[in-house]
Amino acid sequence: MRLKTLWAGICPVIMGTAMAMADEALHVPSALAALFGALLIQIGTNFANDYYDGIKGTDDEDRKGPPRAVASGLISARTMKRAMMLVMVLVWVPGAYILYRGGIPFLVIGIVSILSGIAYTGGPYPLAYNGLGDVFALVFFGPVAVAGTYYLQSYAVPPEVVIAGLAPGLFSVAILTVNNLRDIEGDAKSGKKTLPVRFGPGFAKAEYIGSMLLATVLIPLGLCLYTQGHYIALLGALTFLIAIPAFRTVCTKTDGPSLNSTLAATGKYLLIFTLLFSIGWVL
């Protein structure tokens, strides 16, 4: 399930809910449905990733990251595939309420989200194998999740909500970048053309720091200038300073344990930023 990365699914819902609360549109059942829906889609995507990378031989004995269940033989490919399908079906439990609340557009969002989660490493044109995983992470764990959560509660989508959604999306890009930087050698050998494989480790380091800078500093600043308010939300920019050790690691380390720790830390930075930003936005 990759528990340390699940903040990528939780935090956009927190942010969208906080922005709805600030606009006096909080609706708790919708927030909870969005939360469970996002988590199930992320877990299902993680299962699909483990399954498809396992059967394709991408995760071999030289992998620097934590052991994958299928590749290491801990779980059979057949069982993992069943788990993936079960979780994707369970998405429709909170999804039923989301459809009742949000209508047909959320049916489309749900179907596209599930198909994209499977197509991340599966199907005839897997996104992660063709350098499109970053786009998937940015869009679905960013504006779609934040704006979708806000709309379910308020039946509106102001521009500032969409812009704010880019921040958690960029954090997800940063998490993915560390993962891909760590696996750059194995991915290149197996034909998985992630952006670090295509453009090199220097690009990956710049992508990580740039994503964090945009997410924690420039987007909150732009939102405050755009709305002429919510200046306490700039507390989220402190996250950039907190993340300086991670920047050093990404720029200087190549070993698995160091980058694994940075990947987990980036998930924590996302939570810290989300809480600081959200509390500041409400106040």
Nearest to 173 by CA among 2, 1, 5: 5
Phi, psi of 57, deg, nearest 5: 80, 15
The torsion angle over the Cα atoms of residues 73, 74, 79 and 84, rounded to 10 degrees, is -110
| Per-residue confidence (pLDDT) for residue 61, from 0 to 100 | 63
Cβ-proximal residues to 62 (8 Å cutoff; 6+ apart), any chain: 185, 186
d(CA 127, CA 133): 5
Nearest to 132 by CA among 119, 147, 115: 119
Domains identified in the chain, total number: 1
- Give the pLDDT band (50/70/90) at residue 63: low
For 99-157, the pLDDT digits (tens) are 999 999 999 999 999 999 899 888 889 998 998 999 999 999 999 999 999 999 999 99
Helix axes 7-22, 159-182, angle to 10 degrees: 170
Angle at which helices 77-90 and 92-102 pack, to 10 degrees? Answer: 30
- What pLDDT is recorded for position 123? 85
Integer Cα distance of 241 and 243 in angstroms: 5
Identify the pLDDT of residue 31.
Answer: 97
Q: How far apart are CA 15 and CA 148, in angstroms?
A: 11
Q: Tell me, what's the pLDDT at 32? A: 97
CA 248, CA 45: separation in Å to the nearest integer? 30
Residue in 16, 15, 6, 1 with CA at minimum distance from that of residue 38? 6
Range of the domain at 15: 3-282
pLDDT band (50, 70, 90) for residue 88: very high
Find tokens 């670090």 and name the residue: 196
Residue carrying the six token digits 């990528």: 8
Over the stretch 162-219, which tens digit does the pLDDT of each residue have? 999 999 999 999 999 999 999 999 889 888 899 999 999 999 999 999 999 999 999 9
Instruction: Enumerate the H helices of 70-200 as residue ranges.
Output: 77-90, 92-102, 104-119, 133-140, 143-154, 159-182, 184-190, 195-199
* pLDDT for position 62: 62
Number of H helices, E strands in the chain: 15, 0
Q: How far apart are CA 13 and CA 274, in angstroms?
A: 10
SS3 270: helix
pLDDT band at 60 (very low <50, low <70, confident <90, very high): low
> Residue 48 above 80 pLDDT?
yes
Instruction: For 20-31, write each residue's pLDDT tens digit.
Output: 999 999 999 999
Q: What is the pLDDT of residues 178-193, one digit of tens each?
A: 999 999 998 898 888 9
Confidence of residue 3 (pLDDT cuts 50, 70, 90): confident
Cα separation, 59 vs 50, whole angstroms: 9
Average pLDDT for the chain: 94
Tokens of 123: 């199907």
> Which residue type, as a one-letter code, is found at position 175?
I
